[in-house]
Structure 1
Amino acid sequence: MIYCTVHALGELAVAFPVAGAFSSYITRFLDPSWGFAVGSLYALNWLCTLPLELVAASITIRYWQSTVNPAAFVCLFYALVLFLNLCGVRGYGESEFIFSSIKVIAVIGFIFLGIILNCGGGPQGGYIGGKFWHTPGAFAHGFKGVCSVFVTAAFSFTGTEMAGLAAAETENPRKSLPSAIKQVFWRITLFYIVCLTLIGLLVGYDDPRLIGSSDVDATASPFVIAIKNGGIKGLPSVMNAVIMIAVVSVGNSAMYGSSRTLAALANQGMLPKQVGYLDRSGRPLVAIGIGAVFGLLCFVSASDKEAEVFSWLMGLAGLAATFTWMSICLCHLRFRQALRYNNRSTDELPFKSQATVWGSAWGVIMNLVTLIAQFWVALFPLGSKPLPATFFKGYIALPIVLALYVGHKIYKKNWILYVKLEDIDIDSGRRDLDLEVLKQEIAEEACYISSRPWWYRWYRYWC
């Protein structure tokens, strides 16, 4: 589903590198009210993610220092994220490159280490193999147990669509975005799937040190637990530091994503125009200021209600991503319909989704399945009776997006359910306005790639 979604977004973002990316596409190809609702929910998602990740970063500090008030470290991380975003897209990009490099090196190292530990090569010794697959077992609580973590999983995958947001600020999106879009999927798939498979083999789901147990501390990271179980000294601290960098990185992305989405909504006339103010360097200062104000929620770390706030924020963020991904896939389907309606060919597209329209249809279906499954789990939670508070904690995004949608319909008095094919604009926002020249350049590039060795063609297709 993620593969289909990022390729659908890639096709749209390369063709229309406009500010706000998918929030603009939803307004153009689906419905302005739905564009406002999903765009606002997406911005709210990142606004809530920022304090959530800053608090998570402060929690990792407790691994080394548990006596200092966590609010002190939260303040430090808050200032760092704000500074990086005030440096503009270059500051964001350079910092994310450094953060990502550290994460990639650590993850690759953990993959090799995890295999060695599973085979009994650690100081503690002892072959593990599929021990935890059988005891305490895999897929705790069956199908319902799997459904119960959909929101957390969606929250973890949030950010795969960030490449589309950067399209408007990219010097040459036709050259850089296709590679970025393809590699986002492979990086996430390889690192997430391989790492989580190894984690499942090395740590049982009933480990008392995991989050959700009665003894929650900074060792709650399964990566740290896996290394400690292997008897390796010193390395758990290194992995904990990497985790801290990772969550600060997500906080940095949260500030960037929320500010750009808010500015795009303002430019579309959906928020006060002051929110869309850009300085000479292209920084949306007012939107960054709004993100900074929301970020102050991070000081909830000094409260005993920290865990409760965490649950509400994560419930909102996870479902917000699902609504966004489903809308991106719908936009791609409508865009292709509009092309056919206007007798236009896909030959004019600098980048075409490898998943095609069938992939986007699959993306819509899978996101709907996720929403239905989450509704079931929120209404009938595992191990407890149905309660209104529990339901809204897991499904709070739905009433918010519906309220935004209906509110916009009433305010704008726009009772049209969707944009008709004949009214869809398939040209505004393009950087290559001469389509014949564009088609020729695309054909020449395809001819050049076909003349190269098989390994180069294979690499260009997948990466």
Structure 2
Amino acid sequence: MSEFDMEKYPVKPSDDAVASSSVADVEIVTESTSGWSAFKDSFKPAVFHDIDTSKMTNEEIAAMATATSPLSRSLKPRHLQMIAVGGCIGTGLFVGTGASLSHGGPAAMLIAFALIGSMLFTTVHALGELAVSFPVSGSFSAFSTRFIDPAWGFAMGWNYGLQWLVVFPLELVGCSITVGFWDHEAKYNSASWVAIFYCIILILNIFGAKGYGEAESFFSIVKVLAVSGFCILGIVIAVGGAPNSTGYIGTHYWYNPGAFAQGFKGVCAVLVNAAFAFSGTELIGLAASETPNPAKALPRATKQVFWRVLLFYILPLTIMGCIIPYNDPHLLGHSSTGASTSPFVLAISNAGISGLPSVMNVVVMLALLSVANAAIYGCSRTLMSLALQGQAPKILGYVDRAGRPLVAMGLTFFVGLICFVAASDKQTLVFTWLLAISGLSTIFTWGSICLCHIRFRRGMKVQGRSTDELVVKSMFGVLGSWYGLILNVLVLCFTFWTSLYPIDGSKPNATVFFQNYLAAPVIIVFYVFYKVWRRPAVVRAKSMDLVTGRRMMDIEATLEEIRQEKAYIASRGMAYRIFRFWC
């Protein structure tokens, strides 16, 4: 019963198919034409196999639709690993950490990032187990629909889609602001730079998932090298090796002005910033549906998250706290002048090192482009998944012969035209409220993933199914998901507190509160709307669908392959075994 039930859900192949996928009941047509004709033909609709849905419930039809979407399987294991390690390292790290240091201090920043990082690590392992078992398009909302409540899946899908809809234009505007680093008189035309960056992202996404994967691999390599270089340079600055150094710094700033700026409340204020900085890591779950063999690629990708948290967040932030005091007036939070005030750029500038600030500013620009590229990928796949589940207009489910969710991508690019508000003096106000709509999206998404894993395991237990049939299991099991869920709930509670009573000591203000917490009531509205409209029942463990949509594979053969790989690893030396355990 662990394999796909072909008798219950028979598939009738399409007669006019030219080439078919080996892992899904969908066909992506390829023709012998070349050049311009082939390019034009790639935009035609993909050819679906006809699936007999007469014996299916609405929920099973939705699960089957997301499992057999005609997305291309062009993402390779190296793409997933680079997405896990360096994907979406962008605004949150290179720019947002300035506000985190300013509001919380170096100790509060490290505590918050360590807590969120540990929670993220358990979450992606839970996601890995689910995504290998059910590598479906738009997995986050599909899992919520399947294992929790269709209404919650609807709310989570639109919540996640809105997050990336807003992030895309925001990152493009951020890219244009970085140009101002070289033009202090602000003579450049921000709208023209926004148009250039918009076209770059558009061109990258014409190549579909492969274009996204290759671009993210390049961006990730640049970001990883930049962060590594900053760590080395930061140590040199801390020991007094900078050109304008007054001597050894060490941990001086941890004592003066101090390790904490606002005490416990400062830690709470930084938690959401940390979550924003880590957001996008969960995209490896979406990418699983576009990978030929997620059972092999995804487990290694989830392990890479540990190194991402440790080496590219905790380590550089520790060094940053040693070379920049939290009361530096140029940090974001005290003087918001754009992406060029990145603490990474600021640290190098304060050290009196010429040339390198410009190099780091280029890295910041590429990081913002990386997140904008990921936004197109994440939003389009989520909107397509919602359409396939009947939770969005059907037209958004259109996938062309190249495996691109064309209409969903088009909608994302259309909404992205908001980026041209950069030419207006109202851009700050516009983006503040747009970002408020999905400001807590990541917290809700991660919490839902953990809850989906808990419910999935509960369903298996109630239905008498063994975890031995799972090709990949979460390293932390259900306890890890409970840890992630509880911590996500606590972050929501702490954010409610700091939104109602800001850390600057001001009185409660409705505008300030909703700028930080608007996402919660928006999600509630989505949930109630769907509950009243469709009246779906909460999914019960005993009736939970644990079969529909599983990618057709020989479970025993796959498990035997994994056992052989484990035996090979066990036969190697200690150093190799440790390496493979964490990588």
Q: Same fold (TM over 0.5)?
A: yes
Larger Rg: 2
Cα deviation for residue 252 of structure 1 reads: 0.5
Q: How does 1:107-146 map to 2 (within 5 A)?
A: 107-125=227-245, 126-146=247-267
Distance 2:426 2:502 in 1: 21
Deviations 1:254-290 (A, max 9, x none): 1110000000111111111110100001100110011
Structure 1 position 285 matched with structure 2 position 403: no
| Equivalent pairs, count | 461
Q: How does 1:123-202 map to 2 (within 5 A)?
A: 123-125=243-245, 126-202=247-323
**Partner in structure 1 of residue 529 of structure 2:** 407
> In the alignment, is the contact (CA less than 8 A) between 1:114 and 1:198 conserved in 2?
yes
Q: How does 1:46-445 map to 2 (within 5 A)?
A: 46-65=164-183, 66-125=186-245, 126-214=247-335, 216=337, 219-383=340-504, 384-414=506-536, 416=537, 418-445=538-565
Cα deviation for residue 46 of structure 1 reads: 0.6
**Equivalent AA in structure 2 for residue 295 of structure 1:** G
**Equivalent AA in structure 2 for residue 275 of structure 1:** L
Structure with the higher helix share, 1 or 2: 1
Distance 1:460 1:286 in 2: 41
SS at match of 2:182: coil
**Partner in structure 2 of residue 2 of structure 1:** 120
Distance 1:389 1:218 in 2: 24
Cα deviation for residue 211 of structure 1 reads: 2.1
**Partner in structure 2 of residue 40 of structure 1:** 158
Cα deviation for residue 381 of structure 1 reads: 1.4
> In the alignment, is the contact (CA less than 8 A) between 1:144 and 1:377 conserved in 2?
yes
**Equivalent AA in structure 1 for residue 130 of structure 2:** L
**Equivalent AA in structure 2 for residue 262 of structure 1:** L
**Equivalent AA in structure 1 for residue 422 of structure 2:** S
> In the alignment, is the contact (CA less than 8 A) between 1:55 and 1:301 conserved in 2?
yes
Deviations 1:365-422 (A, max 9, x none): 00000000001111111222211111110001011100000000111022x2x21112
Distance 2:191 2:327 in 1: 30
Residue 134 of structure 2: which of 13, 16, 35 is its match? 16
Distance 1:282 1:94 in 2: 16
Provide structure 2 residue ranges, at least 5 long, that are not aligned to the other structure: 1-118
> In the alignment, is the contact (CA less than 8 A) between 1:122 and 1:231 conserved in 2?
yes
Q: 1:461/1:346 Cα in 2 relative to 1: closer, same or farther (>3 Å)?
A: farther
Distance 2:548 2:454 in 1: 18
> In the alignment, is the contact (CA less than 8 A) between 1:210 and 1:216 conserved in 2?
no
> In the alignment, is the contact (CA less than 8 A) between 2:447 and 2:488 conserved in 1?
yes
Cα deviation for residue 340 of structure 1 reads: 1.6
**Partner in structure 1 of residue 33 of structure 2:** none
> In the alignment, is the contact (CA less than 8 A) between 1:209 and 1:219 conserved in 2?
no
SS at match of 1:263: helix
Q: 1:435/1:172 Cα in 2 relative to 1: closer, same or farther (>3 Å)?
A: closer
Q: 1:260/1:185 Cα in 2 relative to 1: closer, same or farther (>3 Å)?
A: farther
Cα deviation for residue 214 of structure 1 reads: 4.3
Comparing 347-356 with 365-374, greater Cα deviation is found at 347-356
Distance 1:322 1:106 in 2: 28
Comparing 232-241 with 313-322, greater Cα deviation is found at 313-322
Structure 2 length normalisation: TM-score?
Answer: 0.77
**Equivalent AA in structure 2 for residue 81 of structure 1:** I
Cα deviation for residue 217 of structure 1 reads: 5.1
> In the alignment, is the contact (CA less than 8 A) between 2:157 and 2:382 conserved in 1?
yes
> In the alignment, is the contact (CA less than 8 A) between 1:16 and 1:431 conserved in 2?
yes
SS at match of 1:149: helix
Comparing 347-356 with 445-454, greater Cα deviation is found at 445-454
Q: 1:23/1:80 Cα in 2 relative to 1: closer, same or farther (>3 Å)?
A: same
Q: 1:344/1:436 Cα in 2 relative to 1: closer, same or farther (>3 Å)?
A: farther
Distance 2:432 2:250 in 1: 34
Taking only aligned residues, the RMSD between alpha carbons, in angstroms, comes to 1.6
Identical aligned pairs, as a percentage? 54
**Partner in structure 2 of residue 30 of structure 1:** 148
> In the alignment, is the contact (CA less than 8 A) between 2:438 and 2:518 conserved in 1?
no
Deviations 1:47-98 (A, max 9, x none): 1111111111111110012211211111111111122112100000001101
> In the alignment, is the contact (CA less than 8 A) between 1:6 and 1:185 conserved in 2?
no
Deviations 1:35-54 (A, max 9, x none): 01011100100111111111
Q: 1:136/1:316 Cα in 2 relative to 1: closer, same or farther (>3 Å)?
A: farther
Structure 1 length normalisation: TM-score?
Answer: 0.96
Provide structure 1 residue ranges, at least 5 long, that are not aligned to the other structure: none
Distance 1:205 1:174 in 2: 44
**Equivalent AA in structure 2 for residue 407 of structure 1:** F
Q: 1:397/1:369 Cα in 2 relative to 1: closer, same or farther (>3 Å)?
A: same
Distance 1:289 1:263 in 2: 11
Deviations 1:325-362 (A, max 9, x none): 00000011111112222222222222211111111000
**Equivalent AA in structure 1 for residue 526 of structure 2:** L
Comparing 443-452 with 53-62, greater Cα deviation is found at 443-452
Structure 1 position 453 matched with structure 2 position 570: no
